[in-house]
Amino acid sequence: MHVDTTGKISLDHIYTRSDPRAYFSTLRGLDYRIPELAKPHFSRLIAEYREENGVSVPTVLDIGCSYGINAALLKYGATMDLLYDRYSGSDAHGQTRDTLLARDRELVRSGEPANHARFLGLDASDSALSYALEAGFLDDAVHADLEDGDPNELQREQLAETDLVISTGCLGYVTEKTISRIVEAHGTRRPWMAHFVLRMFPFEPIAECLTGAGYRTVRRDGHFRQRRFATTEERSLVLDRLSDIGVDPSGLETNGWLYAQLYISRPL
């Protein structure tokens, strides 16, 4: 495994396969858990938005959604353990993309949604988005890299429909460029936001961008395990990065895990 410019190992290869097996097989070995930990916080925020704004079925934009994991957990009651077993269990290697999709569609059809919301995914991986759409986890998708340019007219219309914006770990690679383009797509309307951000990535540039757009951002108490370090090199490089930005890793990253913090941003 090689590391990227941030000091983390590069996992780019697991986001571009035609189905999620490489994704879950790799991340299972690293005890990747952040979507499960984020689930109750996102559910609560969706319920608060629904009540305060009178929107019965709010649209949720998931930045860096990959294969629609957050949507599967939030809307259809899946768990990370269920998804790990489904895509990296003992019978996963004998499945085809079509049989995996058939099982996922059965999950989608099997009961009343746990959260009445519409899920829109934003990702640079067309393969991951296509799978999430065919499985039924996502209701719509935006295939774009908003770090590199503005959304086109259709993408802008899709983004403008969103009521809440969420993410679980992509901010840091995704910057205030993407966030500002999402905000601008809404015109004068401002969606609520909830982002789980690794402590190795300062949130201040995004918070400043949101402040300028009329938001107030609050960091919620608590630290949330994302995954274990994959190698001793990754651990050393991340600890160095934390030291460089003045973040004390004692009792957290020093114990072998990447940790995230939750930031909630609401329009004033």
Please check whether residue 162 lies inside any domain of the structure.
Answer: yes
241 within a domain of the structure (yes/no): yes
Q: Residue 175: which CATH number?
A: 3.40.50.150
Is residue 99 predicted with pLDDT exceeding 80? yes
Nearest-CA neighbor of 102 among 72, 144, 135?
A: 135
Q: How many domains does the chain have?
A: 1
Q: What angle do CA 112, 117, 119 make, to 5 degrees?
A: 115
pLDDT in tens, 147-187: 999 999 999 999 999 999 999 989 999 999 999 999 999 99
Q: How confident is the model at residue 8 (pLDDT cuts 50, 70, 90)?
A: confident
Q: What is the pLDDT of residues 217-234, one digit of tens each?
A: 999 999 999 999 999 999
Within a domain: 3? no
**pLDDT, tens digit, 9 for 90 and up, residues 64-92:** 999 999 999 999 999 999 999 999 999 99
pLDDT tens-digit series, residues 9-49: 888 889 999 999 999 999 999 999 999 999 999 999 999 99
Distances from the Cα of 16 to the Cα of 4, 9, 128, 176, angstroms: 17, 16, 6, 24
Q: What is the pLDDT of residue 9?
A: 83
Instruction: Give the Cα separation of 192 and 245 in Å (integer).
Output: 28
Within a domain: 220: yes
Under 8 Å between Cβ of 76 and 108: yes
How many CB atoms are closer than 10 A to CB 118? 17
Angle at 227 between CA 99 and CA 33, to 5 degrees: 55
Q: Mapping DSSP to helix (H, G, I), strand (E, B) and coil, where does residue 42 land?
A: helix
Residue 60, beta-bridge partner list: 119, 164
CA distance 2 to 58: 40
**Is 29 inside a domain boundary?**
yes
The answer to whether position 7 is within a domain reads no
Give domain status of residue 4, yes or no.
Answer: no
For 239, the domain range is: 12-267
Mean pLDDT for the chain overall: 95
Inter-axis angle of helices 80-88 and 97-109, to 10 degrees?
Answer: 150
Predicted confidence band at 260 (pLDDT cuts at 50, 70, 90)? Answer: very high
Task: Report the alpha-carbon distance of residue 137 to residue 139 in Å, rounded.
Answer: 7
Question: What is the full DSSP assignment across 88-104?
Answer: HSTTGGG--HHHHHHHH
In a domain, 94, yes or no: yes
Distances (CA, A) of 36 to 33, 64, 170, 202, 227: 6, 16, 16, 23, 12
Outline where DSSP puts E strands in 74-139: 118-123
Q: Is 206 exposed, middle or buried (0-12, 13-18, 19+ CB in 10 A)?
A: buried
Answer for the pair 220, 194: CB distance below 8 angstroms, yes or no.
Answer: no
Task: Give the whole-angstrom CA distance, residue 89 versus residue 97.
Answer: 15
